[in-house]
């Protein structure tokens, strides 16, 4: 690694740390000003301050703000220490944006579909899709693993561990 | 006494008992290894079988399941970064990096050895010191508890990873997340926004699975990785030198586990983290922790298994169940017409001895069945990652759902998975978040309970135990922060030196 | 969401009834696995009872009966799910004082109706709450405790806001005007040690969790909260018989009963009711109840309905008096 790339990386890293600290600081301020008063119901009479339901949230938010400020000052004034993983984090997949979207779509399928078509079918669909996304092209593996493994795991959960899984519209057939 | 022990032996040595404990441990290991299915669930599943067994056999079956479950959690923690049980979360820190280096076998075996040794020491404490240390369970009122939790929270410094401030922020975010749900004292809502599913708080296991296992899955798909890399079969073993080097941490972890286990409600997860923090604090090269140090695996597994025998101390000596598992075991005792507590030591001492003998045997059974389990489970590491990860994701979804039969929990898991991925990308350690989330309710509850009890701040200084924990909390903070600051300064000096040259 | 699902399920149920005829279905019942929903996690008192009942029912009906734990939000989550389950007799619900007594009074935005959404089958078991103090406590009777509490202020422990343990204490407090501070814990398992250690002064614990400590002498029972004395604690008076006017008619207890979602065939309910009669009369169940200091109840589905109605009314009064509600 040449001197210049090290310096560019350090500058990028420092900018990222400053951005992170500034965002955290802003978030803690917003949280303290709006989210806590809106999200925590405080009873009318509280004898001692620590007994209030809002006490700990305020305390924690304040502490987060202070540490974010420290981090910000550190990132601005002290030399940047490259983290170990920074180098490795750069080799993103060439089509990572479309892959992220696909992944989000598949995760949403896992969240929304089981109530409609049942957990078994959902897991088969997503597993096959992910196998294909991971680069698997052999139909035997795609279909074999994609169907048999979800089925076995499903049977284990429902029959051995006695955990009921969503059946979706299959419920009406049974 | 000796004739009691002899009768105990007679009562224990039946084929049924030995089968029960073996079956229990094996079942526990398998169920514990599956994310979402915890030791508690395994014990509850086994409970109906004990209805028709005689007391000793039934109890040993449950104890076997419990002990197997606590170890089983570490298997998937090491192999796929999905802790099978919450207590194994700490094992992820060093176990998974080892597995990434192709040394899953080493990590698994070390986890097993540490678990068995800790289990054995914990059982010995149960048998010989039960009456002596049972009093600890009652010596911990809300203020003592509060300081114990403060001390435990200082471990966050040790598990913060590359940046102390980020680690602390992570821990604070965990604490903040733990305040979601119905308020303990007033029953008012906090951050639930009328959502029924959030009233009981964010579920623990989906959060855990999401935070640790899911980022690995997401990362795989957005990174440029050759899809068909198969690692050479893993032949790594624990060397004698590594074992000797970790022995001190194992023994220390076991005793931390015993003490935490004796205090009702503190839990195996806290013990594992405390033990890990201590091991790192006293290590010669603390910077290797979190990057695949086998001693880290040993320390955390010793911590959580040390709890397993010790939770039986308050149960048998005082009739107080320290956690959910021992509550089920208490239920099993009662179904058999036995009441754990001081009276049982007078009336049914032979049954107690028979159980003690069985419990001692369980450590050995654990070693055997653990070895067997490792042999088969370790093959998971040989599965190509593009095939393994979709299956891991499926287990994450199934496991999260299984906890409460709620799709909402799958959502929780996915949400914390995304959060975990972001934290991974900005180099913020996830372990402090988990630590904060677990200890948050204990911290807040005991703070507020102390105020409810006395309305006087002096209650926080009421006993020697308070002072002991205040002292070690301050000490641990001072030493921990000084060490981290020094390490940072050293790194900065190195950078300045290289920049100047 | 809830209504549409129920309508669909109901319509399907009606359609299948037309196809096969009601009596045929009920006569064959049961033909597959029956599930009992428990709104608490595995290992709790309700769970253990449900497993005992499941074990007994599967023997009597000769069909597998399993327990499904659906904990969360103080039992209301699992109850909501049971209320929405298909009313075919294969999903039952282990109701208790919380889901069908206290919760409807405490939670404002409850998503089930304890009366309209359920068809009661049988009241199975009830357990008294018992007023206990530490063995080192200076108070020998409930009267002595009350005087002290009026004068200087005492603390009472509970297993959490809205539990029967908490509300028994609130009932005592609001009736007598005693100065008592509620100290909530998470479950009896945490609260009892605090009482044993003397960190809280009194607790109106469920008898099964207090019983071992009363027997070993670590806790002293001052009174039981039921109208009659408990057979397990002969020498302990009821609060009612103490000659303290404010405590006349004091009754608070925990109970458990099996329910089905409303719309379940009456013949199925009858089959289950008969089967449950056999279960609660069995030696195993009698033993089970006895070791926990519980009273076996029984009675017809109609009696259980009336019982639930009276429980809902009386807890509503307590909750309103004490001012405990969850927004």
ipTM value, please give it.
Answer: 0.90
At residue C4, does pLDDT exceed 60? no
Same domain, yes or no, for C168 and C119? no
Q: What are the structure tokens assigned to C61, written together?
A: 């009906």
More reliable by pLDDT, A11 or B60: B60
Neighbours of chain B (3+ CB pairs under 8 A): A, C
CB contact under 8 A, C12 and A164: no
Same domain, yes or no, for C142 and C103? no
Is C237 inside a domain boundary?
Answer: yes
CA distance, residue C195 to nearest chain B CA (Å): 9
Residue of chain C with shortest Cα separation from A42? C327
**Residue C107 DSSP label:** B
Q: In the prediction, which pLDDT does C288 show?
A: 82
Q: Tell which B residues from 419 to 458 touch C, by Cβ distance under 8 Å.
A: 441, 445, 449, 452-453
Question: What average pLDDT does chain C have?
Answer: 82
Residue of chain B with shortest Cα separation from A158? B402
Measured between beta carbons, the chain C residues lying within 8 angstroms of B322 are 189
Q: Transcribe B49-107 into DSSP letters.
A: HHTTS-HHHHHHHHHHHHHHHHHHHHHHHHHHS--SSGGGHHHHHHHHHHHHTT-HHHH
Same domain, yes or no, for A82 and A125? no
The predicted-structure confidence for C281-321, as pLDDT tens digits, reads as follows 888 888 888 877 788 888 888 899 999 998 898 888 888 87
Q: In the prediction, which pLDDT does C16 show?
A: 44
Looking at residues C101-128, what average pLDDT do you find?
A: 87
Is C327 inside a domain boundary?
Answer: no
Tell the residue number behind the tokens 């897991």, with chain if given. Answer: A123
CB contact under 8 A, C86 and A171: yes
The least confident of A157-166, B483-492, C204-213 is: A157-166
Same domain, yes or no, for C132 and C86? no
Handedness of CA B176, B182, B184, B188 (dihedral sign): positive
Same domain, yes or no, for A111 and A148? yes
Q: Tell which B residues from 409 to 468 touch A, by Cβ distance under 8 Å.
A: 410-411, 414, 417, 425-427, 444, 447-448, 451-452, 455
CA distance, residue C11 to nearest chain A CA (Å): 11
Of A89, A117, A135, the domain-final residue: A89
At residue A4, does pLDDT exceed 70? no
At residue C53, does pLDDT exceed 60? yes
Residue C188, Ramachandran bin (φ over 0: left; ψ between -120 and 50: alpha; else beta): alpha
At residue A29, does pLDDT exceed 70? yes
CA distance, residue A146 to nearest chain C CA (Å): 29
The least confident of A61-65, A166-170, C87-91 is: A166-170
Same domain, yes or no, for A117 and A68? no
* Residue range(s) defining the domain that contains residue A140: 96-173
Same domain, yes or no, for C140 and C161? yes
* Residue range(s) defining the domain that contains residue C64: 2-127+254-322
CB contact under 8 A, A41 and C35: no
Number of CB pairs, chain A paired with chain B, less than 8 A apart: 188
**Residue C30 DSSP label:** -
Question: Which residue of A23, A31, A62, A81 is the best one to mutate when testing the B interface, meaning the one whose CB has the most B CBs within 10 A?
Answer: A81
Q: For residue B489, with 0-12 CB atoms within 10 Å meaning exposed, 13-18 middle and 19 or more buried, which class applies?
A: exposed
Measured between beta carbons, the chain A residues lying within 8 angstroms of C12 are 172
Number of CB pairs, chain A paired with chain C, less than 8 A apart: 7
Question: Which residue of C64, C73, C188 is the best one to mutate when testing the B interface, meaning the one whose CB has the most B CBs within 10 A?
Answer: C73
CA distance, residue A44 to nearest chain C CA (Å): 12
Same domain, yes or no, for C13 and C117? yes
Q: Looking at residue C174, which CATH number applies to its domain?
A: 3.40.190.10
Q: Which of B200, B264, B449 sits opposite C183 (nearest CB)?
A: B449
Looking at residues A86-97, what average pLDDT do you find?
A: 64
Same domain, yes or no, for A17 and A80? yes
- Phi, psi angles (nearest 5°) of residue B33: -75, -20
Measured between beta carbons, the chain C residues lying within 8 angstroms of B337 are 287, 291
Of A48, A64, A89, the domain-final residue: A89
Closest CA to A13 of A84, A98, A109: A84
Is C141 inside a domain boundary?
Answer: yes
Question: Which residue of C105, C160, C212 is the best one to mutate when testing the B interface, meaning the one whose CB has the most B CBs within 10 A?
Answer: C212
Same domain, yes or no, for A101 and A139? yes
Q: In the prediction, which pLDDT does A172 show?
A: 59
Is C45 inside a domain boundary?
Answer: yes
Is C13 inside a domain boundary?
Answer: yes
Q: Looking at residue C47, which CATH number applies to its domain?
A: 3.40.190.150
Highest mean pLDDT among B56-65, C226-235, C240-249: B56-65
Q: In the prediction, which pLDDT does B294 show?
A: 93
CB contact under 8 A, B176 and A20: no
Taking the Cβ of residue B193 and every Cβ of chain C, the question of whether any pair is shorter than 8 Å is answered with no
Banded model confidence at residue A90, pLDDT cuts 50, 70, 90: low
Q: For residue A152, with 0-12 CB atoms within 10 Å meaning exposed, 13-18 middle and 19 or more buried, which class applies?
A: exposed
Render each residue's pLDDT in chain B as its tens digit; 501 residues. Answer: 677 778 888 888 888 899 999 999 999 998 888 887 878 778 877 877 787 788 889 999 999 999 999 999 999 899 888 888 888 989 999 999 898 888 888 999 999 999 999 999 999 998 888 877 777 778 888 999 899 999 989 888 888 888 889 999 999 999 999 999 888 888 778 888 877 778 778 888 899 889 999 998 898 888 766 544 445 556 678 889 999 999 999 999 999 999 998 887 777 888 999 999 999 888 888 888 888 899 999 999 999 999 988 888 888 888 888 777 888 888 788 777 787 887 788 788 888 888 988 998 999 999 999 999 998 888 887 788 888 889 999 999 998 888 777 788 899 999 999 999 999 888 898 999 998 998 888 899 999 999 888 878 889 999 999 999 999 999 989 988 888 888 888 888 887 777 654
Question: Which residue of B427, B432, B484, B490 is the best one to mutate when testing the A interface, meaning the one whose CB has the most A CBs within 10 A?
Answer: B427
Q: Which of B139, B199, B342 sits opposite C216 (nearest CB)?
A: B342
Q: What angle do CA A88, B206, C100 make, to 5 degrees?
A: 165
Give the number of domains in chain C: 2
Same domain, yes or no, for C147 and C238? yes
Same domain, yes or no, for A72 and A30? yes
Three-state secondary-structure class, residue A161: coil
Of A73, A89, A105, the domain-final residue: A89
Banded model confidence at residue C9, pLDDT cuts 50, 70, 90: very low
Taking the Cβ of residue C326 and every Cβ of chain B, the question of whether any pair is shorter than 8 Å is answered with yes
The predicted-structure confidence for C69-82, as pLDDT tens digits, reads as follows 777 666 777 888 88
At residue C159, does pLDDT exceed 50? yes
Model confidence pTM above 0.95: no
Same domain, yes or no, for A85 and A101? no
Same domain, yes or no, for A122 and A55? no
Same domain, yes or no, for A105 and A162? yes
Give the number of domains in chain A: 2
Q: Tell which B residues from 18 to 57 touch C, by Cβ distance under 8 Å.
A: 40-41, 43-45, 47-48, 51
Handedness of CA A90, A95, A101, A104 (dihedral sign): negative
CB contact under 8 A, B222 and A99: yes
Strands C154-158 and C180-184: parallel
Same domain, yes or no, for A82 and A100? no
Same domain, yes or no, for A115 and A151? yes
Question: What average pLDDT does chain A have?
Answer: 83
Distances (CA, A) of B210 to B359, B397, B431, C41, C177: 34, 9, 12, 21, 49
Measured between beta carbons, the chain B residues lying within 8 angstroms of C186 are 184, 441, 445
Q: Which of C155, C211, C327 sits opposite B189 (nearest CB)?
A: C327
Looking at residues C179-208, what average pLDDT do you find?
A: 87
Residue of chain C with shortest Cα separation from B333? C291
Q: In the prediction, which pLDDT does C42 show?
A: 66
Closest CA to B159 of B63, B317, B289: B289
At residue A86, does pLDDT exceed 50? no
Q: In the prediction, which pLDDT does B228 show?
A: 42
Of C247, C263, C279, the domain-final residue: C247
At residue C254, does pLDDT exceed 50? yes
CB contact at 8 A, B372 and B224: no
Same domain, yes or no, for A9 and A81? yes
The least confident of A63-77, A152-166, C196-210 is: A152-166
Q: In the prediction, which pLDDT does B262 show?
A: 86
Distances (CA, A) of B484 to B98, B111, B469, B481, C70: 24, 28, 22, 5, 44
Q: Which of A41, A164, A172 sits opposite C12 (nearest CB)?
A: A172
């Amino acid at each position: 690694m040449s001197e210049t790339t090290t310096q560019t990386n350090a500058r990028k890293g420092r900018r990222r740390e400053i951005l992170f600290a500034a965002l955290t600081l802003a978030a803690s301020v917003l949280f303290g000003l709006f989210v806590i008063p809106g999200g925590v119901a405080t009873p009318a009479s509280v004898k001692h301050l620590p007994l209030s339901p809002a006490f700990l949230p305020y305390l924690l938010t304040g502490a987060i703000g202070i540490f974010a400020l420290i981090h910000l000052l550190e990132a601005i004034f002290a030399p940047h220490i490259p983290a170990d993983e920074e180098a490795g984090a750069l080799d993103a997949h060439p089509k990572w944006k479309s892959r992220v979207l696909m992944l989000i779509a598949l995760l949403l399928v896992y969240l929304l579909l089981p109530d409609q078509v049942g957990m078994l079918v959902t897991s088969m669909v997503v597993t096959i899709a992910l196998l294909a996304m991971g680069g698997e092209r052999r139909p035997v593996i795609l279909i074999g693993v994609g169907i048999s493994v979800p089925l076995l795991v499903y049977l284990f959960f429902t029959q051995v561990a006695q955990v009921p899984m969503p059946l979706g519209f299959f419920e009406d057939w049974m | 006494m000796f004739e009691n022990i002899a009768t105990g032996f007679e009562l224990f040595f039946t084929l049924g008992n030995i089968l029960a404990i073996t079956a229990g441990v094996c079942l526990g290991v398998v169920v514990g290894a599956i994310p979402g299915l915890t030791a508690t669930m395994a014990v509850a599943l086994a409970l109906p079988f004990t209805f028709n067994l005689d007391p000793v056999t039934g109890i040993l079956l449950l104890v076997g399941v419990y002990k197997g479950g606590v170890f089983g959690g570490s298997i998937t923690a090491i192999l796929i970064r999905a802790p099978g049980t919450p207590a194994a979360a700490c094992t992820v820190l060093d176990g998974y990096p080892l597995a990434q280096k192709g040394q899953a076998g080493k990590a698994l075996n070390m986890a097993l050895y540490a678990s068995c040794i800790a289990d054995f020491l914990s059982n010995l404490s149960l048998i010989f010191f039960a009456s002596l240390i049972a009093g600890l369970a009652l010596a911990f009122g809300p203020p003592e508890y509060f300081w114990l939790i403060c001390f435990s929270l200082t471990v966050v410094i040790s598990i913060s990873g590359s940046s102390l401030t980020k680690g602390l922020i992570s821990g604070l975010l965990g604490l903040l997340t733990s305040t979601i749900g119905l308020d303990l004292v007033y029953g008012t809502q906090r951050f639930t926004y009328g959502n029924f599913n959030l009233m009981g708080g964010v579920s623990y296991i989906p959060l855990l699975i999401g935070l640790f296992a899911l980022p690995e899955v997401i990362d795989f798909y957005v990174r440029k990785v050759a899809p068909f890399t198969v690692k050479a079969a893993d032949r790594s073993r624990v060397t004698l030198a590594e074992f000797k080097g970790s022995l001190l941490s194992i023994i220390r972890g076991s005793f931390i586990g015993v003490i935490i286990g004796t205090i009702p409600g503190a839990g195996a997860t806290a013990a594992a983290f405390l033990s890990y923090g201590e091991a790192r604090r006293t290590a010669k090269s603390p910077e290797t922790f979190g990057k695949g140090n086998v001693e880290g695996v040993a320390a955390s597994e010793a911590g959580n298994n040390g709890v397993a025998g010790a939770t039986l101390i308050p149960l048998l000596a005082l009739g107080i169940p320290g956690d959910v598992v021992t509550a089920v075991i208490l239920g099993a005792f009662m179904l058999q017409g036995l009441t754990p507590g001081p009276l049982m030591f007078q009336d049914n001492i032979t049954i107690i001895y028979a159980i003690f003998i069985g419990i001692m045997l369980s450590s050995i059974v654990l070693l055997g069945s653990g070895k067997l389990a490792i042999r088969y489970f370790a093959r998971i590491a040989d599965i190509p990652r593009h095939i393994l990860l979709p299956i891991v994701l499926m287990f994450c979804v199934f496991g999260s759902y299984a906890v409460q039969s709620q799709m909402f929990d799958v959502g929780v898991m996915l949400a914390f998975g995304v959060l975990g991925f972001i934290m991974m990308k900005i180099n913020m350690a996830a372990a402090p978040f988990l630590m904060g989330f677990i200890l948050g309710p204990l911290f807040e509850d005991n703070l507020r309970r102390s105020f409810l009890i006395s309305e006087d701040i002096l209650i926080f200084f009421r006993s020697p135990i308070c002072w002991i924990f205040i002292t070690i909390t301050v000490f641990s903070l001072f030493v921990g922060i000084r060490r981290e600051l020094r390490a940072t300064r050293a790194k900065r000096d190195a950078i300045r030196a290289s920049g100047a040259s | 969401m809830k209504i549409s699902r129920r309508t669909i399920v109901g319509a399907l149920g009606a359609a299948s009834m037309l196809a096969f005829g009601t009596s045929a279905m009920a006569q064959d019942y049961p033909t597959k696995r029956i599930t009992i929903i428990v709104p608490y996690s595995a290992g709790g008192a309700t769970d253990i009872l449900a497993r005992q009942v499941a074990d007994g029912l599967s023997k009597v009906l000769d069909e597998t009966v399993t327990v499904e734990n659906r904990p969360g939000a103080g039992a209301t989550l699992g109850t909501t799910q049971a209320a929405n389950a298909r009313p075919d007799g294969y999903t039952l619900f282990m109701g208790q004082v919380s889901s069908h007594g206290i919760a409807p009074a405490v939670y404002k935005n409850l998503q089930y109706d304890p009366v309209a959404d359920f068809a009661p089958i049988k009241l199975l078991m009830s357990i008294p709450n018992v007023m206990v103090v530490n063995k080192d406590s200076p108070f020998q009777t409930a009267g002595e405790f009350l005087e002290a509490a009026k004068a200087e202020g005492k603390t009472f422990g509970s297993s959490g806001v809205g539990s029967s343990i908490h509300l028994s204490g609130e009932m005592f407090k609001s009736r007598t005007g005693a100065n008592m501070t509620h100290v909530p814990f998470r479950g009896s398992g945490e609260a009892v040690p605090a009482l044993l250690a003397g960190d809280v002064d009194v607790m109106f614990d469920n008898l099964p969790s207090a019983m071992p400590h009363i027997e070993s002498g670590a806790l002293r029972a001052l009174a039981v909260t039921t109208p009659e004395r408990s057979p397990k604690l002969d020498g302990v008076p009821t609060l009612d018989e103490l000659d303290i006017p404010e405590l006349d008619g004091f009754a608070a207890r925990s109970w458990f009963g099996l329910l089905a979602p409303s719309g379940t065939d009456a013949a199925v309910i009858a089959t289950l009711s008969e089967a449950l009669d056999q279960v609660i009369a069995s030696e195993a169940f009698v033993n089970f109840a006895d070791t926990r200091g519980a009273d076996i109840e029984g009675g017809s589905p109609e009696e259980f309905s009336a019982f639930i109605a009276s429980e809902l009314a009386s807890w509503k009064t307590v909750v309103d008096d004490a001012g405990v509600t969850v927004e």
